[in-house]
Structures are given as structure tokens and as C-alpha cells.
């Protein structure tokens, strides 16, 4: 089992847990509804990427382990619900690490299809954020992507670092870790110090 595959399954489980928690808070849904929204959160971004790349079958259809990871994340969210909700920063940590993992995995999958490195970086960003966008739309929330917060920009920065390291470094596992950690670092710093990009127009 490669580090890339571990990243993919772990990121899937973390995003599913995050999606389930948000779905429960926003919609007060039953187990089916929470599970549905949890799976949308963890599978939506990767599916969107694969459709754009023409990668069929989709990742979670091709490999049942991805779907199992999603269900596992939802079950863990139920088991540790009180602890995660009592400390909001725990949920933020879960989402941030999932964001880093999904971005880099999505970028590498795009590179495997031979697309331009800049396109691969965009695909990595889509992989990480689109599931959350779908979840927020379905729960009638403004997606975090459109809020005054450095979110997708962190993904793009990590993805660009990754494509640079792929071209210059011969340590693929280290490339994965460093690039994902850059995304985590940017997210933590931006939230801690309330940093944001300039407005398009005042």
C-alpha cells in the first residue's frame, strides 16, 4: 500500500466525517440523510475531477475501499460526535488535513493523465473543495469557497508546490507530505490571524 493510497483513503474518511457532522447540524437529518451528505462530501470532489479528466470508472466505483473509507468516516463521526462538536477546532483540524490530502492526490491523478501541470493543480483544488461545495449547497449554506477566508487558495499553493517538486525532486513520498503540510500550514495561519485575499471590488 503506497503513501498516496493511504492519503486517499484517509482523506476520504476525514471528509466523510466532516460532511456527516455538518449535515447533522444543518439539516437534522436521519442516518440516511447524514450518510448521503457525508458521501457527497468525500466523493463529490474526486468524482468531479474524474469526470473532467475522462477517468472512468470513477475512483469510488473502481475501488470499493474508497467507499468503505467513506462509511468508516461517517461511523467514526457518530462515535466521537460529542468530542468533535464540543471542541470546534477538532472539526477544523479534520477538515484541514483532509483538504491537504485530497488536493495532492487529485493533483497527482491529473498528472498521471498527462495534463499540463497548471491544469493538474486546478484539478487538485477541485478534488478538495467541490465535495464541500456540494454539501453546502444541499444544506442551503454559502460555500466556504465564497467566504472571506483563504481556502481554495491554500489548495492551489500546495498543488503548485507539488508539481514543482515532482519536476525537481526524486523523493515522491516526501513531495506528498511537504505539499500537503503547506496547505495545512496556510489554512492554520490564515484562520489564526484572520488573513484573507483582497476583495475583487470594494
pLDDT tens digits for 7-61? 899 989 989 998 998 888 876 778 999 999 999 999 999 999 999 999 999 999 9
Tell me if 126 sits within 8 A of 106, measured CB to CB.
yes
CA 61 to chain centre: 18
Residue 155 has pLDDT above 70, yes or no: yes
DSSP 194: T
The pLDDT > 70 percentage for the chain reads 97
pTM of the model: 0.90
Q: How far is CA 163 from CA 30, 156, 176, in A?
A: 42, 11, 10
Residue 159 has pLDDT above 90, yes or no: yes
Q: How far is CA 29 from CA 24, 75, 86, 141, 202, in A?
A: 6, 15, 20, 15, 39
Question: Among all chains, which residue has been given the C-alpha cell 470499493?
Answer: 64
Compute the half-sphere exposure of residue 101: CA atoms within 13 Å on the CB side of its CA.
20
Q: Where are the domains of the chain?
A: 3-192
Nearest in space to 104 (alpha carbons), one of 178, 22, 169, 200: 178
DSSP 87: S
Nearest in space to 72 (alpha carbons), one of 128, 27, 161, 10: 10
pLDDT tens digits for 107-136? 999 999 999 999 999 999 999 999 999 998
CA distance 37 to 48: 16
CA distance 151 to 95: 11
Amino acid at each position: 500500500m503506497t503513501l498516496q493510497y493511504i492519503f486517499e483513503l484517509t482523506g476520504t474518511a476525514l471528509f466523510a466525517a466532516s460532511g456527516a457532522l455538518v449535515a447533522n447540524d444543518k439539516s437534522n437529518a436521519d442516518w440516511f440523510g447524514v450518510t448521503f451528505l457525508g458521501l457527497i462530501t468525500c466523493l463529490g470532489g474526486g468524482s468531479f475531477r474524474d469526470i473532467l479528466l475522462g477517468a472512468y470508472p470513477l475512483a469510488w466505483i473502481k475501488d470499493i475501499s474508497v467507499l468503505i473509507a467513506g462509511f468508516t468516516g461517517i461511523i467514526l463521526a457518530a462515535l466521537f460526535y460529542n468530542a468533535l462538536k464540543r471542541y470546534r477546532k477538532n472539526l477544523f483540524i479534520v477538515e484541514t488535513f483532509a483538504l491537504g490530502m485530497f488536493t495532492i492526490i487529485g493533483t497527482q491523478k491529473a498528472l498521471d493523465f498527462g495534463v499540463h501541470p497548471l491544469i493538474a493543480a486546478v484539478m487538485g483544488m477541485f478534488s478538495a473543495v467541490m465535495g464541500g461545495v456540494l454539501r453546502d449547497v444541499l444544506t442551503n449554506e454559502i460555500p466556504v469557497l465564497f467566504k472571506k477566508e483563504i481556502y481554495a487558495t491554500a489548495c492551489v499553493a500546495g498543488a503548485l508546490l507539488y508539481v514543482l517538486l515532482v519536476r525537481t525532486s526524486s523523493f515522491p513520498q516526501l513531495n506528498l507530505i511537504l505539499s500537503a503540510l503547506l496547505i495545512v500550514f496556510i489554512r492554520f495561519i490564515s484562520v489564526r490571524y484572520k488573513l484573507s485575499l483582497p476583495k475583487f471590488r470594494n
